[in-house]
């Protein structure tokens, strides 16, 4: 396969991995608007806006730095391990802060405390998988990358149908969760999907010895500042 053909193939696969999940999620809008009251749908929208903000803060551009330096550095294992240690450490620290001060933060953001706990949990897990997903891309594994992305969104869709749909909803499954607001089922579905994907990428997180290289870390951070 020529370089051009491989590039075109990878582009199509990565494009599908990004577009298809969004299309499938779009199909959930009908379910959400049918089942949830107006205020519930509004809470769902606000939840993911805040989640996107947290995600940007917690990843602090490290994914972009990883792409650049993994491709150029000869000691690729050190770039991978340093990036992983950095993102895991900061995620752990931020997680402690976000949970310790949850009452004050949730009040400031005007988010229900139960929703806030799910919000932080989802964001922390999604942050942990950023480098493994970047590793799949930079090492040329588009099919694995796309498959994991699709599995994530399919789990969310299936659980949304099981937990929210009057026609297909599973009473026994809903009984596993003690919720006061049906919109919480959406967040629970997302948390389960994110947790499953984290388990799937764990092998890539332990693919190399955990070595923190100060020199590489400085280069990664300096690139983020640019």
CB–CB of 116/107 below 8 Å? no
Tell me, what's the pLDDT at 8? 60
Tell me, what's the pLDDT at 201? 94
Q: Long-range contacts: 111-117, Cβ < 8 Å, 24+? A: 111/46, 111/47, 111/50, 112/43, 112/181, 114/179, 114/180, 114/181, 114/184, 115/43, 115/47, 115/183, 115/184, 115/187
Sort 196 into a burial class: Cβ within 10 Å, 0-12 / 13-18 / 19+.
middle
The secondary structure of 18-74 as a DSSP string is HHHHHHHHHHHHHHHHHHS-HHHHHHHHHHHHHHHHHHHHHHTTHHHHHHHHHHH-S
User: Which two structure tokens, joined as six digits, stand for 161?
Assistant: 């149908």
Report the distance separating Cα 186 and Cα 159, nearest Å.
8
User: Which two structure tokens, joined as six digits, stand for 65?
Assistant: 């730095």
Tens of each residue's pLDDT in the chain, 226 residues = 555 555 566 666 667 667 766 666 677 877 777 777 766 667 777 888 888 889 889 999 898 899 888 887 778 889 999 999 999 999 999 999 999 999 999 999 888 888 899 999 999 999 999 999 999 988 888 889 889 988 998 899 888 888 887 544 556 566 667 777 788 888 999 999 999 999 999 988 887 788 899 999 998 888 876 5
- Collapsing DSSP to helix, strand or coil, 140 comes out as coil
* Nearest CA among 126, 120, 125, 112 for reference residue 184: 112
* Nearest CA among 16, 4, 1, 13 for reference residue 143: 13
Half-sphere exposure in the Cβ direction for 101 (13 Å, CA):
9
Tell me, what's the pLDDT at 192? 94
Report the distance separating Cα 2 and Cα 8, nearest Å.
10
Report the distance separating Cα 53 and Cα 123, nearest Å.
10
Tell me, what's the pLDDT at 172? 59
Half-sphere exposure in the Cβ direction for 61 (13 Å, CA):
12
């Amino acid at each position: 396969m020529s370089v051009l053909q491989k590039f075109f193939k990878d582009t199509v696969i990565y494009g599908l991995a990004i577009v298809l999940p969004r299309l499938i999620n779009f199909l959930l809008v009908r379910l959400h608007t049918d089942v949830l009251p107006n205020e519930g749908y509004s809470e769902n929208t606000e939840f993911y806006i805040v989640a996107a903000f947290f995600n940007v803060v917690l990843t602090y551009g490290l994914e972009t730095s990883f792409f650049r330096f993994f491709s150029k550095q000869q000691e690729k294992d050190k770039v991978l391990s340093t990036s992983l240690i950095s993102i895991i450490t900061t995620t752990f620290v931020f997680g402690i802060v976000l949970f310790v001060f949850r009452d004050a933060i949730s009040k400031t953001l005007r988010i229900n405390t139960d929703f806030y706990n799910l919000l932080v949990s989802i964001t922390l897990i999604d942050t942990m998988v950023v480098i493994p997903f970047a590793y799949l891309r930079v090492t040329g594994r588009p099919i694995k990358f796309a498959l994991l992305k699709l599995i994530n969104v399919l789990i969310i869709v299936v659980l949304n149908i099981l937990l929210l749909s009057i026609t297909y909803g599973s009473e026994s499954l809903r009984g596993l969760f003690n919720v006061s607001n049906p919109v919480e089922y959406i967040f629970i579905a997302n948390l389960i999907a994110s947790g499953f994907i984290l388990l799937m990428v764990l092998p890539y997180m332990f693919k190399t010895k955990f070595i923190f290289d100060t020199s590489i870390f400085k280069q990664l951070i300096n690139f983020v500042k640019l």
